[in-house]
Copies of this chain bind each other. A is one copy, B any other.
Amino acid sequence: MAQKKKKATSDRILNAAERLFAQHGFDGVTMRQIMRAAGADVALAYYHFKSKRDLFDAVMLRRVEVVNEMRLQALERVERSHDKDDPATVEEIIAAFVHPLLDQLARNQEEWRHYYALIAQINNSPEFGGAVMTKYFDPLVRRFIQALRRAMPDSDPADIFWGYQFLSGALTLTFAETGRLDNLSEGLCRSDDMDAANARMPAFIAAGFRALCMPKPKLAQLKAKPKKK
């Protein structure tokens, strides 16, 4: 019973912290605001987690393994349905990278929403972006980049890394749900319409990768006279 109670309280703290960190950033929120939202005394935050920074890390850690596992399985599912003679397409790989996230957002309205918005802020923060994203996501991202390299065998590795940079930016801005798309399109599009993002992103990004890594002159060249490689 103690276990269950503890779980309940520390989860309420994590939920409140997640939401407020996502909305206002790490420094834009106070411990007292978080604990007021969690309905508990301020000191409890320091009992369950030991500092503001550690609470932040706990917020990040709680969901990162779940989402990375989902994406890894999506990638493996794609890879199992292909072999060396029939490699996976770029679209399929990108879809495995983004669908699990956007699907979850489209279905599960409030649960994960704030977490992804937090990721969006972190990814674009000079303070946290490099270190935090690298720490939590690089192993998985490297696997996707390997897959992309297999799908575009004669590509320059640097092109793939830059393509991933563009993909990462496009994906996280979509997570941010800032409402800007609503303003810009005067209501035609909604920032929180993840089905719309889901339907468009793989096609957009895959075409970008192909244009970058397999430009037409190179493609024609490869078809015409197979070079050394």
Residues of A within 8 A of B (CB): 22-28, 117, 120-121, 123-127, 129-130, 133-134, 138, 141-142, 145, 157-159, 161-174, 176-185, 188-189, 191, 196-197, 200-201, 203-212, 215
Q: Contacts A161-B188, A162-B200, A169-B171 hold; do A24 and B127 have CB atoms under 8 A apart?
A: yes
B residues in contact with A26, CB < 8 Å: 25, 28
B residues in contact with A207, CB < 8 Å: 207-208, 210-212
Query: What is the chain B residue whose CB lies nearest that of A127?
Result: B24
B180, A129: Cβ atoms closer than 8 Å: yes
Query: What is the chain B residue whose CB lies nearest that of A28?
Result: B27
Q: Tell me, in angstroms, the Cα distance from A182 to B165 when the chains sit together.
A: 11
Q: Tell me, in angstroms, the Cα distance from A177 to B62 when the chains sit together.
A: 27
Query: What is the chain B residue whose CB lies nearest that of A203?
Result: B211
Q: Contacts A162-B196, A162-B200, A197-B162 hold; do A176 and B124 have CB atoms under 8 A apart?
A: yes
Q: Tell me, in angstroms, the Cα distance from A182 to B131 when the chains sit together.
A: 11
